Structure 1
Amino acid sequence: MRKQMHLAAQYLAAAGISFLPKKDDDSHTNLGWSNEKQQMETHRLSPNGDVLALDYGTFSLIWNSNSGSAALPLNNRSHAEVLKWIQETSAAFLSKSYTYAFHYDLPYTIDTSFTYHLDESELKELASLRTLAQSSLEKVLKETGLESDVRIWPHHFDSGAYASLNDDIAVGLGLAIPDAMVNEHYFYVSGYEKGKGIDTSNFKNLSLGEWKNEGFEGAVLIADHRNKKEVVKFFIEAINGYPA
């Protein structure tokens, strides 16, 4: 399901590429997460409030607009069928053409015959992780006074925030999907001084999680069986590990 949702999120990213002005930091492609709706959402795609969403509760794509809405259940749908629906729906609501094309590579490929299949229990777990990440990050930003949006970046598929601690040091923090460093979902904090990763080899040990310093310079905490209190504690403790 993780792979399927990563691929499905690309429909939303492509909508940002197709319908929004390009930004140098690629933020026109990133997505929000709604704890209330349990869905990923694009930025507003038009003055009429058009938004394309990926709903984890119903495993469907939803097009919402001030002038109406449309939905496409993904279970047993092929990639070709999904593209056809988005192209027709965006033409109807925006009178614009949708293009499924990217300037980045994903760790897997998709062709027209690729078909989505629902695993309800696994999808529920993935939604819970996004909700935990969103609520924890919002609380950390509030408690620390750091300023950042919380967004999902479709390339790496992380839920993340990025904030400046001072004129020289900034931190990224969030939830990452399994990768070459950690083979399961994990929370992370990484610090940068004038854009360069900060060596953590001499940092004080964390009460939750651990510091990494090879390939990735920062702190990680395995996400499995974690609650909001633990995640917030990890984030704040790791942030405080960097020089103010």
Structure 2
Amino acid sequence: MPGDGTRDSNGAHIPANKPVAAPEAVDLETKVEPSQDRARNTFETILTVTGDLLGEVGFERLSTNMICKRAGISPPALYRYFPNKYAILRELGRRLMDAQDEAVFEWIREGGVQQSTFEDLLESCLLIQSRVNDITRTFPGGAWILRVMRVIPVLREVRVESRQTVADSIRSAAQKAFPGIPEARLTTVTKLTTEMMYAATEMAIEEPDLEEEITREACIMVASYYTRLTGIE
């Protein structure tokens, strides 16, 4: 079923709602920002290796020792930058969200929901949904990063902040295009539709065989709603 989980490197199914143990409070801050080329290379290697390992072994089996072994570095080298695996995942999550968000901002600049017909709006929605799906699919460990940000409380704020920023940006652009719609209603609409589109991305990444159907149905629903809201035909 769509959205019912993901799979590890052996094809074993992992339920999306399976509880994931995580501490209530954990240090998530990067210890040192690398300034030299060698340090930056180490920093980026840690992130890339972590993303790759997530796709292979999943979150619960992932450990800093495993990351160090794959990256060919010592534990002190890793701990110079990150205090634990949660901090690494937070940085990966932030980067994935930033990449997704920038695609949406570019889409808004290209017109976004400001279209003159339902068909144009549907095509516009399909365009941005496909872009975000592609970004997520090609990001190292993208499916697992989305999952851990959804189920681990200490990482959830990265996801929440990203969604809110996107919804606010779409609302701001829509307000200029459709000044007759009350701001309070437009705020609710953009938040709901933003959550729906990102949920569709998560479903599509977890169930790639259904990606085309999931993407199109989600875009039809969003385009239909904005068509009715704005009065375009």
State if a TM-score over 0.5 links the two structures: no
- Of Structure 1 and Structure 2, the greater helix share is in 2
- With the length of structure 2 as denominator, give the TM-score of the two structures: 0.31
Higher RCO (CA < 8 A, seq sep 6+): 2
- With the length of structure 1 as denominator, give the TM-score of the two structures: 0.30
- Of Structure 1 and Structure 2, the greater strand share is in 1
